Structure 1
Amino acid sequence: MDVYSNLKEGEKGAWVSIIAYIFCAALKIGIALYASSEALMADGLNNSTDVVASVAVLIGLRIARKPPDQDHPYGHFRAETISSLIASFIMLFVGIQVVTDAVSSLFHTRESAPDMLAGWTALATSVLMVFVYRYNRDLAKKTNSQAVKAAAADNRSDALVSVGTFVGIAGAQFQMFWLDPLAAFVVGLIILKTAWDIFREATHRLTDGFDQTHLEDLRATIGDIAGVSEISDIKARYHGSSVLVDVVIHVDPDLNVVQSHTITEKIEARMRKVHKINTVHIHIEPDQSIAER
């Protein structure tokens, strides 16, 4: 399956998330108003931002599928990463609002607990999000899509948030009224943490950051190819969910063009098989140590 097919397949995960979040947001906000639960309201607002964030991911995947053109000779793959960055800003805004409201509510004494219907609603939607998480997790592995992987991580955190909401509402039934706004506060912190993780990953990729340990794994794979005597330089960067590698290898100077080219083909084949990397730019240099022997 090529990168464009993976992007198209990844859109299914975005649509599943959008539908699930719309349902959960509408249900939670409606029940929260009826049951007077601040924690469930915060959880519902979290899901409403997830709808917008998932739409942003969907748009990013759609744009990333556009073929290269005159202005984008390398394609539009980074649109996928930009959409994740936009989603992080949306989540950050709502997270701050939820935390601010929760802190304010902690200093106001409540005289009654929220209806337990709010708690059961949170628990039921948590189970739903577990299934959505498992679907997107498996889809991310199948398509190697970072956007779908991020969506799966968000699905998992949302399931945990709803469990926390249930605990807060259940505790309030035993006259611990502070648990409901406290649960809302924790929900806000989880939203902020998720937003920060997505922001950090997106900005790291957009600034051509790459994990050094992974780079050394790539170096080791290329270094094991027969005919490669030395690797003097290797760089890698993300282009959407794809990885681009630039490497300078040294070979026996007595090899002819065809023999040298065969080595590059072996490198490309090994990188596709081991690391699922389809784009490797290889520069060949003569190994002077061999020439001097």
Structure 2
Amino acid sequence: MTYEGPKALFAAWVSLVSNLVLTLIKIIFGLIFHSTALVADGVHNGGDVIASIATIGSMKLSNHPADREHPYGHGKAEDISTAFISIILIGAASFLTYEAVKALFGPISSVSIWAFAAALVSAVWKWFLYVYTKKSADRYHSKSLHATAADHLADIYASIAAALGLGISWIGSILHIPYTHYGDPVAGIVVSILILRIAIIMIIKATNVLMESSVDETEQENYRKVFLSFQEVKKIDILRAREQGNVVLIDAQIRIPASFNIQEGDDLTEAIRTKMLRNYPNVEEVLIHINPWYKDKDLIEPDSVPHLENK
């Protein structure tokens, strides 16, 4: 397993502090300069603070070793955190949409260049934060950091939309261009849809892991090739691989010559396990059950768990 807890946690703390600072900046500037878009984006960032706290908690929990109550470890805590962050994003997108629609039919308010500058600074800050968090997530194989990076990306869209809308409104008010005051709410609606799309994709992925769905077919085929690279493996009856937080768990049933004794079978499974762990660092466990293979008789095993009534 390549997950480096303390270093990944540092990246999560950077996100938490940044989100807290940006939340205060946006809400304060939004209230001072009467910017609905900036206040809404600040509230969105407030949700990110909660999400960052959830990320840190889940990462600490998922790094705990297996115990009596959780013999498979605590890896799925990060998937739960990802689902939680997705729900926050859905709520933020809904809130931003409501505020944008309300602004379309509300009174026209003047826009300050300082509100525009605050949104622009937020977008740039979030871009650097997204790049840093994404690199950390890839390096440490952390699903929570991947979810946080996706959240930062959504924030970039939101801040750019806010900056664009505020900029159009500000320039339009100076040059007396009609209808430019609608730039802010229209941009807010567009970005809300983009944020909602990201959130739905994230929650589907997290739910699939929690529901014990298999890894993608490409990965499964790669695992299959490792088994078949041993000439003693005559057939693969069952091969299942599932994600457990940041790691993958594999269980398989293979056929080897019936003439093999227990020691030979054990040596073979250990060699397969060692090669799998060496080739795929994110694979944490490989459980292998061996069945006898006869040259003149090819028994057929079920490709899934037998139904209880068939026992």
Same topology, TM > 0.5: yes
| Residue of structure 2 in register with 1:19 after alignment | 17
Matched, 1:241 2:216: no
CA distance in 1, matches of 2:8, 2:188: 32
Identify the residue that residue 227 of structure 1 maps to in structure 2. 232
Classify the secondary structure of the residue corresponding to 2:295: helix
- CA positional deviation for 1:188: 2.5
CA distance in 2, matches of 1:91, 1:255: 56
Partner of 1:269: 274
Relative distance call for 1:7 and 1:111 in structure 2 (3 A) is closer
Greater shift in the superposed pair: 187-196 or 38-47: 187-196
> Equivalent of 1:250, from 230, 251, 255?
255
Partner-residue secondary structure (3-state), 1:238: strand
Change in Cα spacing, 1:290 to 1:132, as seen in structure 2 (3 Å) is farther
Corresponding position: 1:71 with 2:69: yes
Aligned equivalent of 1:88: 86
**Kept after mapping to 2: 8 A contact 1:253/1:291:** no
String of CA shifts for 1:4-61, please: whole Å, max 9, x gaps.
x623432122111101101111111111112222222222222111110111111111
Aligned-partner SS, 1:278: strand
Q: Mapping of 1:48-197 within 5 angstroms?
A: 48-110=46-108, 112=110, 114-175=111-172, 176-197=180-201
Match of 1:281 in 2: 287
Question: Is the 8 Å Cα contact of residues 16 and 52 (structure 2) preserved in structure 1?
Answer: yes
Counterpart amino acid of residue 29 in structure 1: I
CA–CA distance in structure 1, aligned partners of residues 7 and 272 of structure 2: 28
C-alpha distance in 1 between matches for 2:129 and 2:297: 59
> 2-side partners of 1:181 and 1:233: how far apart?
54
Amino acid at match of 2:143: Q
Mark the CA change 1:41 to 1:189 in structure 2 (over 3 Å): closer, same or farther: farther
Q: Which amino acid aligns with 2:190?
A: V
Normalised to the residue count of structure 1, the TM-score between the two structures is 0.90
Q: Is the 8 A contact 2:108 2:181 kept in 1?
A: yes
Secondary structure in structure 2 of the residue aligned to 1:177: helix
Equivalent position amino acid for 1:280 in 2: V
The letter of the residue matching 2:293 is D
Counterpart amino acid of residue 22 in structure 1: L
Secondary structure of the corresponding residue to residue 240 of structure 2 = strand
CA contact 1:268–1:278 (8 Å) conserved in 2: no
- Per-residue CA deviations over 1:259-291 (Å, capped at 9, x if unaligned) read 322322222222223222120111111222367
Identity %: 30
SS of residue paired to 1:178? helix
SS at match of 2:171: coil
Q: In terms of Rg, which structure is larger?
A: 2
Instruction: Name the amino acid aligned to 1:156.
Output: L
- For residues 78 and 169 of structure 2, the distance between their equivalents in structure 1, rounded to whole angstroms, comes to 42
Is the Cα–Cα contact under 8 Å of residues 90 and 199 in structure 2 kept in the other structure?
Answer: yes
CA RMSD of aligned residues (A): 2.0
More moved, 30-39 vs 20-29:
30-39
Distance 2:63 2:134 in 1: 21
Count residues with an aligned counterpart.
289
TM-score, normalization: structure 2? 0.85
Distance in 2 (alpha carbons) for counterparts of 1:226 and 1:56: 47
Answer with 12-21 or 254-263: which moved more.
254-263
Q: How is 1:180-219 mapped onto 2 (pairs within 5 angstroms)?
A: 180-210=184-214, 211-219=216-224
CA contact 2:62–2:73 (8 Å) conserved in 1: yes
